[in-house]
């Protein structure tokens, strides 16, 4: 087990947090898809209307893990915590840090009176899938993920014919 400590994230953590985000993007074979910036994370997490929260795992060498989350609302279930990412830097994986972050995030879900917690996992990420199965997680293959990037929305309205 690791000697890492879990604590709430601070604005001063964002440069290292962003490094972890880029590390995850590389692991997921998509580093070119990261368009976020530290400045955007500062505004979105510490501006007048924060839209996310996070916990970090810290050991003697600094921040080695991250759990970033936000709230969503289900018309069927009510307030839910959405876990965007759990990231543990490669050289300390397998030491229980991911479990510590996940456990802390689950506790936060209960503390905030959420009706549950949701997240996604890539279908090829077997270590993560097996990790979540240990908790009795429901892995739902029925729903299809959808999204539009801002430029697609702009193009739609630019080309919209009523």
Catalytic residue among 73, 82, 132, 156: 132
CB atoms within 10 A of CB 122: 12
Which of 117, 152, 111, 151 minimizes the C-alpha distance to 136? 117
How far apart are the C-alpha atoms of 76 and 112, rounded to whole Å? Answer: 18
Q: Helix, strand, or coil here: 105? A: helix
Cα angle, residue 83 at apex, residues 80 and 88 outer, rounded to 5°? 160
52 counts as catalytic: no
Total residues belonging to the chain: 162
Cα angle, residue 136 at apex, residues 69 and 97 outer, rounded to 5°? 50
> Are 2 and 26 contacting, i.e. CB atoms less than 8 angstroms apart?
no
Residues annotated catalytic, as ranges? 132
């Amino acid at each position: 087990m690791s000697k890492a400590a879990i604590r709430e994230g601070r604005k001063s953590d964002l440069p290292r947090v962003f490094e972890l985000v880029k590390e995850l993007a590389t692991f997921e074979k998509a580093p070119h898809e990261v368009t976020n910036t530290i400045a955007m994370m500062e505004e979105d997490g510490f501006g007048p209307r924060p839209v996310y929260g996070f916990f970090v795992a810290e050991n003697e060498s600094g921040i080695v893990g991250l759990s970033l989350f936000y709230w969503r609302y289900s018309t069927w279930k009510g307030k839910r915590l959405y876990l965007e990412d759990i990231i543990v830097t490669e050289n300390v994986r397998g030491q229980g840090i991911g479990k510590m972050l996940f456990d802390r995030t689950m506790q936060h879900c209960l503390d905030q009176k959420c009706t549950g917690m949701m997240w996604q996992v890539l279908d090829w990420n077997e270590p993560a899938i097996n990790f979540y199965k240990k908790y009795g997680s429901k892995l739902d293959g029925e729903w299809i993920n959808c999204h539009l990037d801002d430029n697609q929305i702009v193009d739609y309205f630019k080309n919209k014919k009523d």
